[in-house]
Structures are given as C-alpha cells and as structure tokens.
C-alpha cells in the first residue's frame, strides 16, 4: 500500500503515534508519505519506504492568519496524484480532516478517488472540536471521512455525545514500541537524584488541561515523607507558573526541569513513579510510555485513562484535583521496595497489551476494508 499520513510534527501524542505508525508500516514494506509543515520529531531516520513532504505556507502581508489548511490541501492533491497514493490517514481532525476533504473533492474532479481515514486523538474533540467555531465543519468532515477511528472507547463516547455522527467509530488504541523502552539505557539517575532518593516524573506539553500545578502539590506532600526528586519533562504555556509554584512551596531545589526531550525513554528509565494529573486525557500516551519503562502511574480517572492505568495494578486512579489521595498513593508505592517492584511488573504487563505488534494489524485491517481489499 501507498499511504499518506497527515500529522502534527510536534512532541504531542498524536504526532508521536502517527510517526511510529508510519515507521512500522514502512518496515512492513508499505510506502509511507508523511505530509506536514516540518519534519516530525519522532521521524528519526529515513528508509527506502519513507518519504517526507513539507507543506510550506505562503506569507502575504494581507494575511493575519496563515492559510495553512489551503496549502495542506494543495500539497495533498499533489502528493496523491504524483505518488499515486492508495489512501490518506489524517491524525487529529483539526485542520487535517477538512484539508483532506477539500483535496478529495479536487481529486474527484480529476477522476481520482482517494479514501480518507480520520483518527481522533482527543483535544480535537473534547476541547476544540466541540466549540461552535469548529463544530459544524468538524461534524461534516468526520461524516465525510471514509472511516473514523478514536484512540479510546471514552473518546468514541465523547464524540457520539457531542456530534451528530452518521458513521461508526472504530476504536483503535494508541500503541507503544516496547523495545524502545527495554533496550539498555544509560541511567541518568545519578545525575538527577542523590543516593536513596526516589525519582518522580511528569511529561506533558504544560497546557492548562494537564493541571501540572497538581503535580507540584502532590510532590510537595510526598517529599515530606519520602526523600525524592521531581523531574518535569516538556514545556509549554504553564511552565513559568509551575516553576513559580515550586518556589512558593519550597520544593524548587528538589525539582529538575529538563524541557522538551525527543526520546522520553532515555529519562523514563530513571524514574520510579509517573504523575499525570490531567483534567481529561482521551488516552494518556505518556502514561503508557511510563509503563513500558516499568514505571507505575498515579493518574486522574478521567477520559481514557482508566482504559490504560489499572487501579491497584499499574498504579492508581484518583479524582481530578485530589492531591491528598494522589500523594497518599504515591507514598504507598514508593515507601516499600517490594510494593514498587509489584507495580513495576503490573505496569510492564499492561504496556505489552498495547504493543505495536498488537495494535498495528487493526489499522491494516481497516485500510484493507476501506480499500475494499478485504474481500
Ligand atoms: O494534549 C495533548 O497531550 C496533545 C494531544 C495530541 O494531539 O498530541 O494529546 C492527545 O492525543 C494523545 C495521542 O492520542 C493522547 O494520548 C492524549 O491523551 C490526548 N490529549 C488529551 O486528550 C488532553
């Protein structure tokens, strides 16, 4: 198959999932064309089946807002036509699904029928898509997609609830490339923490939905009982506020801010526990990455997180904002080596249920169904 993958090239989970999917498809001898505005952060090699098409946006003084969607649609027409793609798989509905719809109509006029699969990732539905300024278009292009997938049962439910869908959503969970997390990693623990300290980690884009302030409050309670270090990975609009809160709570000297890191597996190998305190998460890929590194997770119980983090087995689920409960559960896991080892084993077993080997066939079966090749 010749597959076009449209994605955000950034550190967020949707870009990571889209890139890893494409790389695995290329390993299986499919031809994969990534189409976006810069080289995806996880596209760390080029092979015989991997191609990258950069969308450049024409700047013109009249434009206050760059017409990226139009440039993307034009690029999609060009790549589908000249690379003879079999299908387009777009990740994150905004603006990729509407750009693909426009390209599909243009190509239809030229006698080319290109199937479009839209994968919903979460904030494209729960935060942005359902806003009246996006809803009519997103509702329309979801219904016009040849297939629609969501990364969790929870996200599928949210989508049915907030939109007038005329089509079934296929739930295909996010996945993990386990070997990325099990290969020997240089242990950064000695550079991050002092001997005997536990390492607690948080990875996110530091947006309000992540409630990173709760991570700080949990850590401030935990480090009163457990010698520990807090490692923040990622960056975003809330980072300054978080650093300020660390100083206000007197824990700044025990915190390490590493910023954006391309390969989170390098740092996760040095963690003992992962905190994810989001208002909601359609899936929580960062939590699954932690589990692949044998790191138990304390997370909130919203959205798709209960489909990933199993309470009492891979970590614990707590109500949003309940920092007392999250601190208590964190201490429970970190204060005893045997308890920590048990949760590490549970986390790793769960990660293997979401391995790319388990999940990729679901995407391939969907592609064949959409192409009518499954007969
Ligand atoms: O908000 C983010 O974390 C970024 C966003 C994205 O588009 O990368 O993440 C969403 O997609 C990820 C991959 O499917 C999911 O694991 C995240 O849970 C989801 N974020 C939210 O729903 C808040």
pLDDT in tens, 141-194: 999 999 999 999 999 999 999 999 999 999 999 999 999 998 777 778 889 899
Preceding peptide of 95 cis, ω within 30°: yes
CATH class of 2-175+355-371: alpha beta
Q: Is 328 helix (H, G, I), strand (E, B) or coil?
A: helix
Atom 4 in ligand 1: which residue has the minimum CA distance? 12
Q: Tell me: pLDDT of 336 over 80.
A: yes
Contacts of 100 by beta carbon, 8 Å cutoff, 6+ apart: 6, 73, 76, 88, 90, 116, 118, 141, 145
Instruction: Give the confidence band of 259 by pLDDT, cuts at 50, 70, 90.
Output: very high
pLDDT in tens, 45-81: 888 899 999 999 988 999 999 999 999 999 999 999 9
Atom of ligand 1 nearest to the CA of 12: 8
Q: Which two tokens stand for residue 213?
A: 């302030």
Nearest 10 degrees: CA dihedral of 252, 254, 41, 307? -100
Structure confidence by residue, pLDDT tens digits, 89-127:
999 999 999 999 999 999 999 999 999 999 999 999 988
Q: Is the CB of 70 under 6 A from ligand 1?
A: no
What separation in Å is there between the alpha carbon of 12 and the centre of ligand 1? 6
Asked whether the predicted pLDDT for residue 260 surpasses 80, the reply is: yes
Residue identified by tokens 């996760």 is: 268
- Which pLDDT tens digit goes with each residue over 268-317? 999 999 999 999 999 999 999 999 999 999 999 999 999 999 999 999 99
pLDDT at position 45, please?
84
pLDDT at residue 59, rounded to an integer: 87
**Residue 234 above 70 pLDDT?**
yes
Q: 12-54: per-residue pLDDT in tens? A: 899 999 999 999 999 999 999 999 999 999 998 888 899 999 9
pLDDT at residue 375, rounded to an integer = 61
CA 281 / ligand 1 centre spacing (Å): 6
Is the pLDDT assigned to residue 330 strictly greater than 80? yes
- State the distance from the centre of ligand 1 to the C-alpha of 89, rounded, in angstroms: 17
The pLDDT of 341-365, averaged and rounded, is 97
pLDDT of residue 183: 79
Q: Where in the chain is the domain with CATH 3.40.50.2000?
A: 2-175+355-371, 179-352
Beta carbon of 34 within 6 Å of any ligand 1 atom: no
CATH 3.40.50.150, applies to 179-352: no
pLDDT tens for 179-220 read: 999 877 777 888 989 999 999 999 999 999 999 999 999 999
Q: To test ligand 1's pocket by mutation, which of 282, 290, 304 has the most ligand atoms within 8 angstroms of CB?
A: 282
Distance CA 227, CA 306 (A): 29
Residue 211 · residue 321 · CB < 8 Å: yes
Evaluate: CB of 122 within 6 angstroms of ligand 1. yes
Q: Which residue has the tokens 């997770």?
A: 297
From the CB of 96, is ligand 1 less than 6 Å away?
Answer: no
Mean predicted lDDT score pLDDT of the chain? 96
CA 122 to chain centre: 9
**Residue 360, SS3?**
helix
DSSP state of 253: G
In the prediction, which pLDDT does 169 show? 98
Span 251-274, average pLDDT: 95
């Amino acid at each position: 198959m010749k597959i076009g993958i449209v994605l955000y090239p950034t550190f967020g989970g949707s870009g990571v999932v889209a890139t890893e999917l494409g790389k695995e498809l290329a390993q299986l001898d499919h031809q994969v064309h990534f189409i976006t505005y810069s080289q995806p952060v996880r596209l760390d090699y080029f092979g015989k089946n991997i191609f990258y098409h950069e969308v450049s946006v024409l700047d013109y003084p009249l434009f206050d807002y760059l017409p990226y969607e139009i440039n993307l649609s034009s690029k999609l027409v060009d790549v589908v036509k000249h690379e003879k793609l079999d299908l387009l798989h777009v990740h994150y509905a905004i603006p990729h699904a509407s750009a693909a719809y426009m390209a599909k109509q243009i190509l239809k006029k030229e006698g080319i029928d290109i199937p479009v699969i839209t994968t919903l990732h979460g904030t494209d539905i729960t935060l942005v898509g359902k806003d009246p300024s996006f809803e009519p278009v997103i509702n329309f292009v979801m219904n016009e997609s040849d297939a629609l997938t969501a990364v969790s049962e929870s996200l599928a439910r949210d989508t049915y609830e907030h939109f007038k869908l005329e089509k079934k959503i296929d739930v295909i969970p996010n996945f993990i490339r386990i070997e990325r997390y099990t290969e020997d990693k240089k242990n950064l623990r000695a550079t991050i923490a002092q001997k005997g300290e536990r390492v607690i980690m948080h990875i996110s884009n530091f947006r309000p939905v992540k409630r990173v302030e709760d991570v700080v409050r949990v850590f401030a309670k935990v480090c009163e009982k457990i010698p520990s270090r807090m490692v923040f990975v990622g960056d975003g609009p809330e980072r300054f506020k978080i650093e300020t809160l660390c100083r206000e709570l007197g824990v700044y000297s025990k915190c390490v801010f590493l910023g954006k890191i391309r390969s989170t597996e390098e740092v996760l190998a040095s963690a003992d526990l992962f905190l994810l305190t989001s208002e909601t998460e359609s899936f929580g890929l960062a939590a699954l990455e932690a589990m692949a590194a044998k790191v138990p997770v304390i997370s909130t119980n919203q959205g798709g997180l209960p489909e990933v983090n199993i309470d009492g087995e891979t970590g614990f689920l707590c109500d949003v904002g309940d920092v007392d409960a999250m601190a208590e559960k964190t201490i429970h896991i970190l204060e005893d080596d045997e308890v920590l080892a048990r949760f590490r084993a549970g986390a790793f077993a769960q990660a293997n249920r979401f391995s790319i080997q388990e999940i990729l066939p679901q995407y391939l079966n969907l592609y064949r169904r959409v192409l009518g090749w499954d007969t």
